[in-house]
Structure 1
Amino acid sequence: MNIAIAGATGQLGQLVIDALLKRGADPAQLIAIGRSPEKLEPLAGKGLQTRVADYNAEASLVTALEGVDKLLLISGSEVGQRTTQHENVITAAQRVNVKLIAYTSIANALTGNMKLAQEHIATEHLLAGSGIDYVLLRNGWYTENYTDQLLGYLNSGVVLGAAGDGKISAATRADYAEAAAAVLLSDSDQAGKIYELGGDKPFTLSQLAGAVGAAAGQDVTYQEMDPAKLVEIYTDSGVPAIFADILVDTDLRIREGALEVNSGDLAKLIGRAPTSLGKAIKDALAA
């Protein structure tokens, strides 16, 4: 049973591979697919098969997916190009008879009304029409979306946002990776399953600010911003305009519950409580 990870050299992909190996997967039956031969080398050193392919080049994907039984399609990082890229992967998978695709979508994809969800919804539709069995891993927000900004929060003393009192069921990238590994290695039929994944203890951005301040021993407060002003702040700091708009739109949808997850699916898949916000912050500060 060969399992391929498309996007294997990215942050999530590498963590999925680590989780698969920890759960006893045979490295010789794991296929790491990525664009960079140099980045694939360390994975070959772990005993994995490595194959070079690009989401933009369907022919390379057909070659890379030969002999694959299960495929983890990690969503691309290029917002605006992902639907076409994912279609290339799915079409290649059809051509070589991949049996199951697990796709990393987004939490509450069909109901959250997020601009960020549009390409995920399109990909879910492509999978539904592909004739290939598929399972949806609807990952919620990554805790790292916030912990990667800790220095900024601590230097300014504020967390800026437009999310009001909306709750966010964030979890760490490693927790989502472990869930993906559990699904890929499951003996039970995963075809047609949809997992809404997120942390067990949702928090507001005000609570995030409080947790950051408590962990660092200083005052950090949440500052609610006018959405247009927040877009301006992001673009002034170098965030591309299209992505700044998506980030602020996500905050506005958070107000309406778009990133709150109450399924308990993540804990069930990984067999433990997801990493708490407090622990994630402490770990990030220690690093």
Structure 2
Amino acid sequence: MTHGLHYTVNCSILLTDLPLLERPAAARSAGFDAVEFWWPFPEAVPSDAEVEGFVKAIEDAGVRLTGLNLAAGDMPAGDRGLVSWPGREKELRDNVDVVVEIGKRLGCRTFNALYGNRIDGVAPERQDEIAVANLAHAAHAVGTFGGQIVVEPVSGIEAYPLKTAADAVAVLDRVGADNVRLLADFYHLAVNGDDVPAVIAAHTGRVGHVQIADAPGRGAPGTGDLPLADWLGAIEAAGYAGLVGLEYKAAADPFAWLRG
């Protein structure tokens, strides 16, 4: 791909033939120096030993942790975040404390706070109030060491309310913190029918992180029909200088597209 942006490997969706803690070293062996993860523990507040094991795996691999999701609930069951989930505020905030610890130790500065699904019987306005308060809390916590919270439109889950960049930007505006920014995942935006070039033109100044996969299928670049190289070139030209997360499902050779 012809652009000057650098990649970070999402080790929660790539290299899944290996145990989780072996994936950072595999990413390094594949030529990358940066990795990102969804929340890598089964609980929002893991044991000290689990945290130590994760930190050691990153350090021993010689890579940088450039992105980490906040706890998102049971993702295989369809959960997509705790940020707007009534009754789980303490769990979310206890999770933020762990995120802060990991971020400080590993130099990670970008944290993805998945918004959470709409819940039957709860007014959307109530969920949005909870989300704004939780995002403001998380932004303050990571802001103490230069971190940012990113908010992501997501596809594939009807109950997840943030589907377009405009949906997420409206949340950013409600929170009103400079370090709460848009996660522009070109795959999710495209699948949801958003106009990605228009998003780039309108919102690059609000973008805190970019992720890519091709569509249909959420495979590696080149397996679908999205003009990912064009979009990455456009967002770079518009002033984005951050990393690009490789967040796709891959076949046996996940990085062949970079060599071909």
- Considering only CA atoms, is the larger Rg found in Structure 1 or Structure 2? 1
Fold shared per TM-score above 0.5? no
**More helix by proportion, 1 or 2?**
1
